[in-house]
Structure 1
Amino acid sequence: MDVFPFNNFQLGAKSTIEDFATINNGVGDVLIGEGSMIGIGSVVIGPVEIGNNVMLAQNIVVSGLNHGYEDVTIPPSLQKEIRKQIIISDNVWIGANSVITAGITIGRHSVIGAGSVVTKNIPDYCVAVGNPAKIIKRYSAETGTWESVKN
């Protein structure tokens, strides 16, 4: 746990952070809701807000931090830090080995397939897979079923 006193860290009731996971709030708040689980070996770097009843499987990276690279006379490690809030809404399931990039919002009750790289926002009630992640299903309230999306 790389939890610093100058940014917020909250872990909701009945939430779990499994072994070998890294939580870092050094560059932004990390807020985890109730009943959520951060899986083995996962990395969460703020600013990140994780809702209630969220499942992060194993070896997931959720990072609101990037580095500039534009000035070729300076190594990227010495360029400005770029911070963009990540929001993972309630009831989301993120499959193993996925990456959630800075500035992304994942909507309620969405599912991210294993090994996906999320580079664009995912709306509520969607299934997204791949690199980059693309929506393949949406829940239809009219039919009460998950329906395929043609890309």
Structure 2
Amino acid sequence: MLIKRLVVATALLASVGAVLAHGDVTPQVVDVSTLRPLGDGILDSNPYVGDKEAIRVGSSAYNQNCARCHGLEAISGGVSPDLRKLNDECATVNANKKKQCQVELDSYYRNSVLGGKVRDGRVYMPAFAGILSQEAIWAIKSYIETRKYE
């Protein structure tokens, strides 16, 4: 009986650690003061593609706001979509349609981050509108674009 209680207690302690492993679930504001300002209008596509400073800021912002669900270094543990797969969406499209595919993918990403994801009344991803600036959103996208799906 004592062994059974110890096993149950150990399992409960392990599950608490797993729940707290990715830290606070409160969205975090991102310091974008080192990035080129993008103005008030929300852009349709990522203006920071390949920008080293945006990738640096995006890495930090991703770890603060996205990693708890989408995985450390954008490597999903299977709970939420693996964002690295977004990088491959336009890879098989012919050259003539590649730019349009990228704009559509950027738009989908932007709208998902701003509006969140809700299904059947359940929040799967919080809306980051009013929390993350568009500079932060595009910096995170720039970071994700550096992560390759293997």
Give the TM-score of the pair, scaled to structure 1: 0.24
Which has more strand, going by share of residues? 1
Larger radius of gyration: 2
Which has more helix, going by share of residues? 2
Greater relative contact order (Cα < 8 A, sep 6+): 2
Give the TM-score of the pair, scaled to structure 2: 0.24
